[in-house]
């Protein structure tokens, strides 16, 4: 039952050496502010203050829905026209807004100043503002800054930038610990921790932590595993602090989860019998849950527009566990060190593309005529109107999809639109 991570598990060659089509044209993605929606739920004593325009405030409101009962843990300090024209001292106004916020919300222990397109256009230095405000409010509140602007390439970069911003101020340790990096829904995080504890791996630390008091320390004996493939800057920041990455396929599907756990188990010297005993039952459950959808997915083709940065691990899952045929796998960035193990397992065949030139890619998608297209919200409706079946990439990030117990739900996210299409087609021809 052990899995050899050093080579693809089947006779097919992987995609690690496949030439990548690089495009730098117009792109259709959300900005990094979107990450605030899941980050503010995860970090329960944090507040995200976007320094932006009314557009930014509207994006957040629309993406987060209306909160009636809870005081939100995010907001927008709106730059007015006079700020944009450089007529007001935006720093003084920001300090005033932060003072007012912290006075009203003494529960805030971590404050993130989140840059936007407008704050970057007027070159408002939020890093210096964060330093100044951190000194003023220490030790009760730590202030960080990062960019969530649409000038960056895609929406999952918001989480990466947020976590990377936290790394330099994490405490120093020489302890040998496993840091698990990436914001997961609490229920999924609990499953991950439970599996690792049953394997006897630890001590375990989480980044982000649910509360600032539980933030991990880092040092030369820290080993870290990423749960999300879009954490390239955080990966680099942790390495700069001396921590070492455990490379593995990402924990999507039964195979990905097993490979991810196996890499950690190997690092911590877990014997194979224990590994098999802990993982056998959830592996079987995951396989069964995926099989319930594989009948709909097997033999179908799929085309990924670059969006969530989850594309390569998901294509690997869909090809190997669900029998789909990826035609093009587009990703905003291809971080080879992080995605190498998934590329090894992705059967060769699809076009791999990095970045986007949306018109050219739409032409390729039309020519490929896939059964299912994964894309951003902006492209989904036009493609549906042309008769293509689509899935919104952003749902893959908002839904719990990691580890064994979610493997069936992950497959369902792809089978549902195909089933719906089949029902509509049958209804139309009846």
The beta strand positions in 357-423, using DSSP E, are 372-375, 390-392
Stretch that binds ligand SF4, among 55-63, 165-173, 266-274, 341-349 (CB under 6 A): 55-63
Give the residue at shortest CB distance from ligand SF4: 150
Half-sphere exposure of 107 toward its Cβ, with a 13 Å CA cutoff?
A: 9
Q: How far is the CB of 161 from ligand SF4 (least distance, A)?
A: 12
Please calculate the CA angle 21-23-25 and round it to the nearest 5 degrees: 160
How far is Cα 424 from Cα 415, in angstroms, rounded to an integer?
14
Q: How far is the CB of 191 from ligand SF4 (least distance, A)?
A: 33
Q: How many residues bind ligand SF4 (CB under 6 A)?
A: 11
x-or-dash string of contact with ligand SF4, 18-37, rule CB under 6 A: -------------x-x----
Q: Which of 15, 39, 59, 261 binds ligand SF4 (CB under 6 A)?
A: 59
Listed in sequence order, the DSSP H helices in 105-252 are 117-121, 126-137, 157-166, 186-199, 232-240
For residue 116, state whether it binds ligand SF4 (rule: CB under 6 A).
Answer: yes
Stretch that binds ligand SF4, among 49-57, 89-97, 123-131, 169-177 (CB under 6 A): 49-57
How far is Cα 74 from Cα 321, in angstroms, rounded to an integer?
39
SS (H, E, C) 187-226: HHHHHHHHHHHHHCCCCEEEECCCCHHHCCCECCCEEEEE
Is the Cβ of residue 150 or residue 370 nearer to ligand SF4 in the bound state? 150
- Angle between helix 311-322 and 336-345 (nearest 10): 10
Is the Cβ of residue 153 or residue 353 nearer to ligand SF4 in the bound state? 153
Q: How far is the CB of 33 from ligand SF4 (least distance, A)?
A: 5
Say whether 404 sits in a helix, a strand or coil: helix
Q: How far is the CB of 132 from ligand SF4 (least distance, A)?
A: 23
x-or-dash string of contact with ligand SF4, 149-178, rule CB under 6 A: xx----------------------------
Contact criterion met (CB below 8 Å) for 354 and 397: no
Q: Which residues bind ligand SF4 (CB under 6 A)?
A: 31, 33, 52-53, 55-56, 59, 116-117, 149-150
């Amino acid at each position: 039952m052990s899995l050899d991570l050093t080579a693809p598990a089947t006779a097919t060659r992987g995609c690690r050496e496949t030439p990548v089509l690089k495009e730098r044209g117009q792109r259709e993605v959300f900005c990094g502010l979107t990450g605030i929606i899941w980050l503010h739920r995860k970090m329960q004593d944090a507040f995200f203050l976007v320094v932006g325009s009314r557009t930014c405030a509207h994006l957040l409101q629309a993406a987060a829905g209306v909160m009636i009962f809870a005081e939100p843990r995010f907001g927008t300090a709106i730059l007015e026209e006079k700020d944009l024209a450089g007529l007001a001292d935006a720093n003084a106004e920001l300090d005033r807004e932060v003072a007012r916020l912290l006075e009203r919300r003494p529960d805030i222990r971590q404050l993130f100043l989140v840059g936007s397109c407008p704050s970057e256009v007027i070159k408002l230095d939020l890093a210096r503002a964060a330093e100044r405000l951190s000194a003023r409010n220490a030790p009760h509140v730590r202030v960080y800054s990062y960019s969530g602007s649409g000038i960056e390439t895609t929406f999952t970069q918001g989480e990466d930038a947020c976590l990377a911003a936290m790394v330099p101020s994490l405490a120093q340790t020489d302890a040998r610990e496993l840091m698990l990096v990436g914001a997961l829904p609490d229920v999924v995080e609990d499953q991950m921790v439970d599996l690792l504890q049953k394997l006897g791996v630890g001590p375990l630390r989480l980044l982000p932590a649910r509360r600032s008091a539980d933030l991990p320390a880092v040092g030369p004996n820290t080993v870290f595993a990423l749960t999300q493939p879009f954490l390239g800057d955080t990966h680099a920041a942790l390495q700069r602090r001396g921590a070492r990455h455990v490379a593995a396929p990402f924990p999507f599907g039964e195979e990905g989860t097993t490979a991810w756990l196996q890499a950690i188990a190997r690092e911590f010297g877990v014997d194979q019998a224990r590994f098999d005993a802990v993982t056998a039952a959830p592996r079987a459950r995951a396989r069964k849950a995926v099989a319930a959808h594989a009948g709909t997915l097997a033999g179908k083709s799929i085309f990924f527009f670059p969006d969530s940065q989850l594309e390569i691990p998901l294509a690997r899952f869909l090809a190997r566990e669900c029998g789909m045929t990826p035609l093009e796998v587009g990703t905003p960035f291809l971080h080879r060190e992080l995605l190498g193990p998934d590329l090894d397992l992705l059967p060769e065949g699809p076009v791999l593309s990095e970045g986007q030139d949306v018109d050219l890619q739409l032409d390729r998608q039309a020519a490929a005529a896939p059964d299912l297209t994964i894309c951003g919200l902006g492209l989904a409706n036009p493609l549906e109107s042309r008769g293509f079946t689509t899935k919104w990439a952003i749902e893959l990030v908002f839904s719990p999809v990691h580890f064994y117990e979610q493997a069936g739900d992950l497959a369902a996210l792809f089978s549902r639109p195909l089933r719906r299409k089949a029902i509509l087609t049958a209804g139309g021809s009846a």
